[in-house]
Amino acid sequence: MEEVCERNNCWQALKRVQANRGSAGVDGMNIPQFTSYLKQHWPGIRKQLLAGTYQPQPVRRVEIPKPEGGMRKLGIPTVLDRLIQQAVLQVLQRRWDATFSPHSYGFRPKRSAHQAVAQAQQYLGEGYGWVVDLDLEKFFDRVNHDRLMSALGKRISDKKMLRLIGAYLKAGVMENGLVSVSEEGTPQGGPLSPLLSNLVLDELDRELERRGHRFVRYADDCNIYVRSQKAGQRVMRSITGFLERRLKLQVNAGKSAVARPQERKFLGFSFTAGPQIRRCVAKKSIVRFKQRVRELTPRTHGVHRRGLKRLLDYVRGWRGYFGFCETPGTLKELEQWLRRRLRTAFWKQWKHGRKRVSELVKRGVDVRLAKSTVASRRGCWRLSHSRALSLALPTAYFDSLGLKLLVGG
């Protein structure tokens, strides 16, 4: 705890919390307000931490939609509790990270989802052509507190630290003005939760290593690679039993499967079949990309500067992650689709015939071609591929806006 409260460690934690921004917790205090609050109250808070008497506040419950449907429950701690959790995380992560399995990639320094996908690809190349895809049902909500505190007790001798982490686990959740006690789970949303989840699942990693399996785990996404369907079914039964009996976790039978990797997705990616295994963007990831672009380019509002900036930011982020694929043809097709989507949005924005003719002519289209295009009975999407709109809004125009990002980098 003395190391947690050390000045440089707390200063680094504060910088990280400020950089992450985030919303206020149950006390309603935002980050700018918190900075002045901290100057006045930190000595007393530090004294409580060192004495082992600090009591966290409940987290504020928020729900965000999952990409595949349903809602994910997040717990937003107060800014003060985010600061303390971050300070604790920095100390524990420095001590523990080297002890975790090399097959674990999630929420760890110098490790990434791309490394996890590349490792999965390597297993496939070695002939492990079946995957046991495990989905843990509501993992963060179902972590057993007794087992977690027992695992913490084996690594931490400082009673004040154990007491503080235990207090965070049982701080409760405020929803609709009412606080409910937390009997299990580690609320998603706090800096400490990912490290605690890795600690819980480290026991799974060690069991898989003991059995000699080829596997990759990223947080609660775990894929085990085997040579045959029969072996996969045997591993699925055995590991499901281990998770449910030993770790008190529930495997979602509806989302878990033994299948060819080409039929599944892992961290948004999938793999091609054939002798040369390549990384590709999973079909569901493509569907979500198009859905998000549609949301950012509504035909009713047209394309405005603020909306275009949000679109550019999203496309850059998407390209930064999925550019790791080895199928550039997919990116080229999405880039073409994106241009057609924007042409459709511009066409809708121009609204009326006279305005549409004017815009087309202004952009270099012959008057006769412009009028015949406006008079066409074809729908907006079909017209987005017409000669007139391709001339008025060419690829070079979208490149100048910064949209040559999917293929052009």
Query: How confident is the model over 325-343, as pLDDT tens digits?
Result: 999 999 999 999 999 999 9
Rounded distance between C-alpha atoms, residue 192 and residue 89, angstroms: 6
Half-sphere exposure of 92 (CA within 13 A, CB side): 25
Mean pLDDT of the region 71-85: 89
Whether the per-residue pLDDT at 141 is higher than 80: the answer is no
Give the model's confidence band at 351: pLDDT under 50 very low, under 70 low, under 90 confident, else very high. Answer: confident
pLDDT score for 275: 84
Spell out where 7-95 has E strands.
59-65, 71-76
Q: Mean pLDDT in the chain? A: 91
Give the model's confidence band at 302: pLDDT under 50 very low, under 70 low, under 90 confident, else very high. Answer: low
Task: Decide: 338 and 293 in contact? Cβ < 8 Å.
Answer: yes
Angle between helices 79-96 and 159-169 (to 10 degrees): 130
Whether the per-residue pLDDT at 408 is higher than 80: the answer is no
Q: Please give the residue that has the higher pLDDT: either 350 or 213.
A: 213
Q: Read off the pTM.
A: 0.89
- Range in 12-21, 35-44, 301-310 the model is least confident about: 301-310
CA 278 to chain centre: 23
Give the model's confidence band at 73: pLDDT under 50 very low, under 70 low, under 90 confident, else very high. Answer: confident
DSSP element (H, E) containing 54: none
Q: What separation in angstroms does the CA of 15 have from each of 95, 337, 392?
A: 21, 40, 47
Give the model's confidence band at 15: pLDDT under 50 very low, under 70 low, under 90 confident, else very high. Answer: very high
Whether the per-residue pLDDT at 361 is higher than 50: the answer is yes
Rounded distance between C-alpha atoms, residue 269 and residue 114, angstroms: 9
Rounded to 5°, the CA angle 376-377-382 comes to 85
Whether the per-residue pLDDT at 309 is higher than 90: the answer is no
pLDDT score for 407: 61
Give the model's confidence band at 187: pLDDT under 50 very low, under 70 low, under 90 confident, else very high. Answer: low
Mean pLDDT of the region 370-389: 93
Percent of the chain with pLDDT over 70: 93
Mean pLDDT of the region 178-182: 68
- Range in 14-28, 167-181, 245-259, 360-374 the model is least confident about: 167-181
Whether the per-residue pLDDT at 65 is higher than 80: the answer is no
Whether the per-residue pLDDT at 179 is higher than 80: the answer is no
Q: What separation in angstroms does the CA of 316 have from each of 180, 304, 307?
A: 40, 18, 14
Cβ count within 10 A of residue 153: 11
Give the model's confidence band at 204: pLDDT under 50 very low, under 70 low, under 90 confident, else very high. Answer: very high
pLDDT in tens, 222-259: 999 999 999 999 999 999 999 999 998 999 999 999 99
Give the model's confidence band at 300: pLDDT under 50 very low, under 70 low, under 90 confident, else very high. Answer: low
Rounded distance between C-alpha atoms, residue 285 and residue 403, angstroms: 19
pLDDT score for 409: 45
In DSSP terms, 257 is beta-bridged to 133
Exposed / middle / buried, residue 313 (Cβ in 10 Å: 0-12, 13-18, 19+): exposed
